[in-house]
A and B are shown apart, each in its own frame.
Chain A
Amino acid sequence: MSRRRRSEGFFSRIFEGVNYLGQMIVNGLLWPFYVVADIYDSLVGGSTPGLRSRTWRDFFVDVLLFVPRLIGFVFMWLYGGIVSWPRMIRLRDLASGLPALIGTVAAVAVLFFAQKDDAHVVQGYKFNSDESYAKAQQEPTEEARKAALKLAQFYTRALVKMNPLEPEYRFNVAYIYQEMGEFSRAQSIMDDLAPRYESGFAKAHLWQADQLLAPDRPIRPDSLDAAEAHLLRALTTYSDKEAIHRRLGELYYFRYLRYDPKSFDVRMPARNEYLRKSEEQLSKVAALDPKMALSLAEIRALEGKTQQAELDVQGVVTQLTTRLSSVPDDLETRIQLARAYRMVRRYADAANVLREGQNLRPDIRFDQELSGIYYFQALDIKQRTPAALVDQFAALQHAYVSYPSNNYVTHRFVQALTSGTSEEADVARSALQHLVDNKAPGRMATFLLGFDCLQRKLPVKAGEFFAKAQSMPVDNTPEVIAGLTMAVLTQQVRSLNPPLAGKIFEAGLKVWPDDPDLLSVRAQQDLMLRNYPKALGDLKKALERRPHDAKLHEMIATTYERLGLVDQCREHRLKANESRQNAAPPPP
């Protein structure tokens, strides 16, 4: 059943009104055409029915009124529907539709209006991240520490996801990856944040520089260049400028110390320029720690600013002495103070400071440092009074006794025995003999005397010394010999020639034929010479003594690979990975 709508009369009147209005507008618009048509008619004497016909007018009216008519129609349609709606609705439909209505209202409210400001979320994540990271630093076990770091990493990654353009968050993610031992991932993120040839995020540049200059990494000129570039980029935007100046100062000083005149490059600064730059950078640091203050003093001394250098050292000595009086067993302070004394040639004071420390709290670093003090004293004597050989070697004897595995001391003795004057060799020989006679600790002195006899064509006597060295308690002597050999072969040490290093190495192997360090050096040489079976023999022998050495497994895998034995290669690669994973973490 249908009913006629009451609204129809009202709307038809509106339509008529709109039509009338439209026709008036159209007539107004067409008026100029009518005038033109009249003029044309009067001139030509005809008529232009097209322009004035009703068809044309209607057409224009239709075009002009299309949109208003459409709107009117829609309005009428809606109006009619709204007017009729109350009469047509059924409440039972509303009741059945209530779940959908309530569901829609709830869903819209929750999904579109229950929004939280991103800043609040970010704040929460930041807090959680910092808290987890701090917790990780205090966790007693490695497992708990890793769990806390993982949580910190989760929150930091969440921050990155929310703010992908914020470098600070990405830097933090990388930093946590590094803490978790995933260094390559950390490096990858840092490379994005601080590219080598572009300006990036200052903290990441600083991190890059620190990694390049890390003490456990081999230092190469290009890595020093890269570190310098990163530091200079960080300097422009990093807030703690002193930290950058300190690092740059250290870097330039290092470059000065390691300057190699043989690899002269016109693009690189002269050696003294590094010294000047280093002083310039370090002098910008207001609060230098004693170690850097000593370095600055050393730099000034090298520049000839002796008085200023001495003043600097005195200042450091005063500072460190004060500290030591309040904390007598502070190892670092003691070592710094000893170095300060060493710089002003107060060797006896330096040695006393270290001996006191050793008595208070024994530590091998005191022995190493004491050995270093005596070694510097010996060098000082050599520079100032080259003729005072006895004094020089007496100091070296002290250095040896303090720490028999001191590489520098070994090197100096070898140099004196093999490359020095006969007088120097004699003094060195008698110094070593004196050490052996007085039962000084360590096997190195006995070994060096044996080697000296070998050089002097006294094989019987050499054999006696070697036999004695073999029977002495185990120490690091073979490792020092292996290290010295590799340093000469890789040209890190140029004051000894490679054939001589080879002879020392062979002598070492004769005395300790099963030593893994010496065997792996020989295997390395054989690998370079493509003598794979021989290398494999040495490596297997070395592995018997060190079955969990990742490096040895890796070398064996490489050897097998070269021999085409894939199964064995695979086995040792896996063992190498396993050893790496199970390796004890490095000391803090």
Chain B
Amino acid sequence: MSTLAVPLETPTVQSRRAVPWVAIVSLATLVVAHVPMLYRYLRGLYDLPHYQFIVMLPIGAAVLAWPRIRRLGEMNPGKAEVFTAWLAGAIGLLSISVVLDSPWFGAVSIFCAVAAVAHAVGGRRLVYALAPALVLLLFGVRLPMQADEWLTQQLQHLAAVRASAVMNYINEAHILDGNVVETPVKRYMVEEACSGVQSLFVLTACAVFFGLWMRETWGRIIMLVLATWWWAWVMNVVRVLCITVFNSRWGVPIDVSDGWPHEALGIVLFMFTLGLIVSSEHLLLFFIPRGVFSGQEKLNNEAKPIADYGPTHAPDLGRTRLATPLVAVVYSGLIVLQLLPQLNKPEATATAATLNTLQAGIAPKTFGEWTLLPDLPDDEATKDRDGFYIEKRREDSQWGAHSQTWRYVKGSKQFVVSVDYFFRGWHELTICYRTAGWDMEHRSVVDVPREGAAAAIVAPNEKCVEAVLHRPEEGNYSLLLFTSFNGQQKALPVHEKLSMYFRLVDRWKGFVERIKSLGAAGTDQDDQVQSFQLQVFIQSADKPTDSDRKEALAMFSEFRTRLGTYLADQTAGGAQ
């Protein structure tokens, strides 16, 4: 049997590795496309006190990721289908973010993008290694549709109710008015004092970090998170009890208005809760040792070690799926889509600088039979008699950190106009009043009148919320009109009903407007945008009549017009 010698081609040895330009450009476009939305998102999120812990998340993520990625051995690029799926997710979510002007979707898309890049570079092994870090970073994503606020309010209410039961037990006379605890001595603003509930998010993130750092299973991490929620709630009840009982019985000044003692109490309770979370982990280890239910009895109750594949070697980027021109093309399109609405975007007129200059003088001295009270020196004691009052609250106050308030009287009736700032996105003021003890009898969305000078300022179809509130036990009614505006003084979409469907419809309408006007209209109207609020609040013993409503709407329109004119003048003056 003869054999045929096949000449083998001599392999060419490259002296220099080729620069993977296509992959680098793709990666660069990906980063450039995602960064603006991520920046907008983080800027908005950082303004929320209960999410300020996000600055620590990257550090935690690095701590979790480093031991897992340093010994992954020779990494191989992942399968094309999986990479495509991740990338499609990233592009899809970023597109939704751009179309709906929602930085939230932009933030979520980042996770898909990171997973896509990781899979392209190191396949499933790298994605799995990064998973704990990504899970921790997920706690930087706000709950959708402002569910975090809803959750906070529910927990506040539960805490307040339970604290009330304990106070009944210890014979501490009090009234639980919404989420406000009132004693014969003082009215404690639990809705603010109990920002302890807001530490729920940071505590959860800490618990997850701790669980992942201990290399616990997901089941155990979930149990630890549940224990954390329990402790957050218990500590919040303790906080309410401390503030009210200590102050009313012994005069210890730890109310929200008392400054550092209140902060100190918050820090002590927070540290105490962290300690209890660690203790809970050990208690779990005692009651449910590692492997007790999996049939694997482990010596010393040790956690599963991190896989060791040898020192990590990254593959040539040019061999990865990132080296596809299509990626760069699609992301370039998304960059253009994000740039377009910026071309015609108007300058912001309602900024901290302009809003802070609001003075008594912008309000009319009389309005119909209403008379503006004289402007007294700002003092908490004379607040209810002051014609113009400037108030600074805690940064996390649900009423806004700053308020400028004008107060009018007509007989026993009081009419208050206030400009409150800043919030993020639409601020549903009726929730605040309900937590303060008011019952809402009616809520509707009405058009703001555009008569006379108002026609130049109030946008067509500009709407505000009209609500009738009642405190039956105090014989008090109030008529509330309010709306939220962005920096350009565009009214944020008012939700006809507080449902997700209507919110999405509003977003869609905003998108259409934004595309049509290249950003002149409909921009910055999302849940993350910095906003301020104008409210008119009329209190009286009688139920508001139709004529009261008309009068209130006229007042709202008048103030809206004066405010709009003033802020525009201030901005123009500042520019000159």
Residues of A within 8 A of B (CB): 1-3, 5, 77-78, 80-81, 84-85, 87-90, 93-101, 103-104, 107, 110-111, 114-116, 118, 121, 124-125, 128, 151, 154-155, 157-158, 160-161, 164, 170, 173-174, 177, 184-189, 192, 557, 561, 566-567, 569-570, 573-574, 577
Contacts and interface: CB of A to CB of B under 8 A. Distances in A.
Contacts of A3: 297
Q: Most chain-B CB neighbours within 10 Å: which of A88, A155, A567?
A: A88
16 contacts: A3-B297, A78-B293, A89-B286, A94-B286, A111-B234, A111-B237, A115-B169, A116-B168, A116-B169, A124-B173, A158-B173, A184-B412, A184-B541, A185-B474, A185-B475, A187-B541
A187 B540 CA distance: 11
B247 interface: no
A570 B473 contact: no
Contacts of B227: 100
A90 B285 contact: yes
Contact of A577 (B293, B295, B409): B409
Nearest to B290: A88
Contacts of A116: 165, 168-169
B472 A192 contact: yes
A80 B289 CA distance: 13
A97 B285 contact: yes
Given A157-B175, A170-B472, A1 B299 contact: yes
B177 A574 contact: no
Contact of A107 (B174, B175, B234): B234
Nearest to B472: A192
B286 A151 contact: no
A100 B279 contact: yes
A105 to B, nearest CB: 11
A80 B293 CA distance: 7
Nearest to B282: A96
B285 A574 contact: no
Contact of B168 (A5, A121, A157): A121
B184 A151 contact: yes
B374 interface: yes
Q: Most chain-A CB neighbours within 10 Å: which of B174, B286, B300?
A: B286
B424 to A, nearest CB: 33
Interface stretch (B54-62, B364-372, B396-404): B364-372
Given A85-B289, A570-B366, A2 B295 contact: yes
Given A87-B297, A128-B173, A155-B173, A188 B477 contact: yes
Nearest to A120: B168
A90 B473 contact: no
B412 A80 contact: no
Given A84-B292, A557-B371, A569-B371, 11 more contacts: A2-B295, A3-B297, A87-B297, A158-B174, A161-B175, A173-B473, A185-B474, A187-B541, A188-B477, A567-B365, A573-B371
Given A80-B295, A89-B286, A158 B175 contact: yes
B182 interface: yes
A570 B365 contact: yes
Contacts of A107: 234
Contacts of B291: 88
B298 interface: yes
A107 B298 CA distance: 33
B476 interface: yes
B2 interface: no
A155 B473 CA distance: 12
A367 B156 CA distance: 67
B176 interface: yes
A185 B476 contact: yes
B280 interface: yes
A148 to B, nearest CB: 11
A188 B542 contact: yes
A78 B298 CA distance: 17
Interface string B264-301: 00000000000110111111111011011101111111
Nearest to A103: B276
Interface of B: 162, 165-166, 168-169, 171, 173-177, 182, 184, 227, 230-231, 234, 237, 275-276, 278-286, 288-289, 291-293, 295-301, 364-366, 369, 371-374, 409, 412, 472-477, 540-542
Contacts of B540: 184
Contact of B280 (A97, A154, A173): A97
A111 B472 contact: no
Nearest to A573: B371
A203 to B, nearest CB: 16
A566 B366 contact: yes
Given A99-B276, A164-B473, A173-B474, A574 B282 contact: no
B371 A570 contact: yes
Given A158-B175, A170-B473, A184-B541, A574 B296 contact: no
B299 A114 contact: no
Contacts of B278: 96
**Interface of A: prevailing SS:** helix
Given A93-B301, A97-B280, A574 B477 contact: no
A5 B291 CA distance: 13
A88 B371 contact: no
Nearest to B273: A103
A186 B475 contact: yes
Contact of A160 (B169, B281, B409, B473): B473
A164 B472 contact: yes
Contacts of A2: 295-297
Q: Which 8 pairs show the lowest CB-CB distances between chains A and B?
A: A97-B283, A96-B282, A188-B475, A184-B541, A185-B475, A93-B286, A100-B279, A88-B289
A87 B166 CA distance: 41
A171 to B, nearest CB: 11
A103 B234 contact: yes
Contacts of B288: 81
A125 B173 contact: yes
A184 B542 contact: yes
Nearest to A101: B283
A224 to B, nearest CB: 22
Contacts of B298: 1, 88
Given A87-B297, A97-B284, A154-B184, A114 B473 contact: no
B366 A1 contact: no
B282 A81 contact: no
B386 to A, nearest CB: 13
Given A184-B412, A189-B475, A85 B365 contact: no
Contacts of B184: 151, 154
Contacts of A557: 371
Nearest to B374: A574
A88 B283 CA distance: 13
Nearest to A95: B282
Contacts of A96: 278-279, 282-283
A85 B292 contact: yes
B177 to A, nearest CB: 7
A85 B288 CA distance: 8
Nearest to A155: B173
A95 B278 CA distance: 12
A20 B278 CA distance: 49
A416 to B, nearest CB: 44
A157 B276 contact: no
A87 B290 CA distance: 12
Q: Most chain-B CB neighbours within 10 Å: which of A100, A101, A574?
A: A100
A304 B263 CA distance: 83
A93 B282 contact: yes
Contacts of A561: 366, 369
Contact of A99 (B168, B182, B279, B286): B279
A154 B475 contact: no
A88 B409 CA distance: 74
Given A161-B175, A570-B372, A177 B297 contact: no
Contact of B166 (A111, A170, A184): A111
A182 to B, nearest CB: 8
Contact of B289 (A89, A151, A155, A161): A89
A187 B476 CA distance: 10
B473 A185 contact: no
